[in-house]
């Protein structure tokens, strides 16, 4: 099998698994909305009837809100819901009446995706560099200290990191804004004031994301480097008198490679962490949207946000795997990892 075909096959496999995952999440959120105690769909339908709407009007209004009809068998409702999902229709928000869920999600997505990606990238670069250092200096004080910093940060839950950072940099020593995405004084657009304010407000969330996954990277990288250092081919390269820089590149590339398999996992974890982070920093991303949708019992929004986060994780998986495939020449068939 050619390399191109192998890559296509892997991506196809991921896509198939991703579709199944999205379908499961969609189904679960359908049943959550439908089966939740008090049945919000039925409740709304009935309250609309009580407000004097005709059954048809009430039905249509409910369908617009939840994306499926409250009438008919559960199966019919399910098919209706899935049908509208396929058309990209997630229903309307209850808490912000008249606004499509897709619209709200679209507005929130970049507030989550960009900081999460920035945090992932920063923590990856930082963790990998420090991990190499910690591995090479593993018998020294500094190496120990680095590894310790990794273990500590790895053990601290992300919301504790967020709270600590706000406490320190927004309250005790207020050099950074405590929350919000941007100062309202600036006119949105490509002007230095607005962009500067955006970045200024993004510092704490991004640093929180970075610290949250830095520990994992440094620990994983350190153990990979130590393992590769023990591999015969590194000694062989030294015995052939290869230049230090070249041996180091052999070492680093072989040690980094396995990290790509956990890249998707890490991005997924940060997406999950955004629920806490955005709450703490009052950052209008998907996490905050989800929290608000839960507290306002906006089930359509809740289901939609869940679904989008799932899609994000599936996409991250595919991208991480593609990276891995491009870098590792050993990936030939779907069989070998």
239 binds other proteins (CB under 8 A): yes
The least CB distance from residue 327 to other proteins, in Å, is 8
227 binds other proteins (CB under 8 A): no
Among 16, 156, 199, 236, binds other proteins (CB under 8 A): 236
Alpha carbon of 51 to those of 29, 104, 157, 322: distances in Å?
28, 28, 47, 54
The least CB distance from residue 238 to other proteins, in Å, is 7
* Residue 329 CB contacts under 8 Å (≥ 6 apart), including other chains: none
Among 246, 282, 334, 337, binds other proteins (CB under 8 A): 246
Number of residues that bind other proteins (CB under 8 A): 22
The least CB distance from residue 266 to other proteins, in Å, is 22
* Residue 204 CB contacts under 8 Å (≥ 6 apart), including other chains: 162, 165, 166, 169, 170, 176, 177, 281
Q: Which of 317, 256, 269, 311 is nearest to 120 (CA)?
A: 269
Name residues contacting other proteins, limited to 309-328 (CB under 8 A): 327-328
Q: Which residues of 38-74 are buried (b: 16+ CB within 10 A; e: fewer)?
A: eebbeebbeebeeeebeeeebbebbbebbbbbbbeee
H helix runs in the chain, sequence order: 3-35, 40-50, 55-66, 74-86, 101-136, 141-155, 158-166, 192-229, 232-239, 244-256, 260-280, 286-295, 299-327
Among 242, 265, 311, 319, binds other proteins (CB under 8 A): 242
Q: Round to whole Å and give the CA distance between 242 and 226.
A: 19
Check: CB of residue 165 under 8 Å from CB of residue 204. yes
Check: CB of residue 29 under 8 Å from CB of residue 303. yes
Stretch that binds other proteins, among 22-30, 195-203, 225-233, 272-280 (CB under 8 A): 225-233
Q: Round to whole Å and give the CA distance between 81 and 91.
A: 9
152 binds other proteins (CB under 8 A): no
231 binds other proteins (CB under 8 A): yes
Among 35, 76, 144, 238, binds other proteins (CB under 8 A): 238
The least CB distance from residue 242 to other proteins, in Å, is 5
The least CB distance from residue 261 to other proteins, in Å, is 15
Our CB check for other proteins shows the closer of 125 and 327 to be 327
Alpha carbon of 76 to those of 79, 168, 251: distances in Å?
5, 54, 58
Our CB check for other proteins shows the closer of 57 and 333 to be 333
233 binds other proteins (CB under 8 A): yes
20 binds other proteins (CB under 8 A): no
Question: Both tokens of residue 219?
Answer: 């620990």
Name residues contacting other proteins, limited to 249-268 (CB under 8 A): 250, 253-254, 257
15 binds other proteins (CB under 8 A): no
The least CB distance from residue 241 to other proteins, in Å, is 3
184 binds other proteins (CB under 8 A): no
Q: Which residues of 210-229 are buried (b: 16+ CB within 10 A; e: fewer)?
A: bbbbbbbbbbbbbbbbeebe
The least CB distance from residue 120 to other proteins, in Å, is 23
4 binds other proteins (CB under 8 A): no
Among 4, 52, 173, 232, binds other proteins (CB under 8 A): 232
The least CB distance from residue 250 to other proteins, in Å, is 5
Binding site for other proteins (CB under 8 A): 231-233, 235-244, 246, 250, 253-254, 257, 327-330
């Amino acid at each position: 099998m050619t390399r191109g075909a192998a890559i296509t096959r892997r991506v196809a496999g991921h896509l198939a698994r991703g579709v199944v995952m999205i379908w499961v999440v969609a189904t679960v959120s359908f049943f959550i909305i439908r089966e939740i105690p008090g049945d919000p769909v039925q409740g709304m339908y009935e309250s609309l009837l009580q407000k004097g709407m005709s059954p048809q009007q009430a039905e249509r209004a409910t369908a617009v809100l939840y994306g499926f009809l409250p009438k008919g068998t559960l199966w019919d409702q399910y098919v209706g819901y899935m049908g509208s999902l396929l058309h990209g229709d997630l229903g309307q928000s209850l808490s912000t009446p008249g606004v499509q869920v897709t619209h709200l999600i679209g507005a929130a997505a970049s507030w989550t995706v960009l900081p999460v990606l920035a945090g992932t990238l920063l923590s990856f670069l930082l963790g990998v560099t420090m991990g190499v250092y910690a591995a090479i200096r593993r018998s020294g004080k500094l190496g120990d200290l680095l590894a310790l910093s990794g273990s500590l940060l790895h053990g601290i839950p992300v919301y504790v990191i967020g709270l600590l950072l706000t406490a320190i940099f927004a309250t005790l020593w207020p050099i950074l804004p405590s929350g919000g995405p941007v100062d309202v004084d600036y006119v949105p657009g490509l002007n230095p004031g607005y962009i500067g304010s955006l970045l200024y407000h993004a510092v704490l969330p991004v640093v929180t994301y970075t610290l949250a996954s830095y520990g994992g990277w440094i620990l994983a990288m350190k153990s990979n480097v130590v393992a590769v250092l023990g591999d015969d081919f590194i000694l062989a390269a030294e015995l052939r008198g290869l230049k230090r820089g070249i041996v180091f590149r052999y070492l680093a590339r072989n040690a980094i490679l396995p990290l790509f398999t956990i890249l998707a996992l890490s991005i997924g974890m940060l997406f999950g962490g955004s629920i806490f982070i955005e709450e703490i920093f009052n950052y209008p991303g998907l996490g905050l949207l989800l929290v608000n949708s839960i507290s306002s019992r906006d089930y359509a929004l809740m289901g939609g946000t869940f679904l989008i986060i799932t899609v994000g994780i599936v996409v991250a998986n595919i991208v991480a795997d593609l990276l891995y495939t491009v870098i590792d020449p050993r990936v030939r068939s779907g069989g070998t990892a």
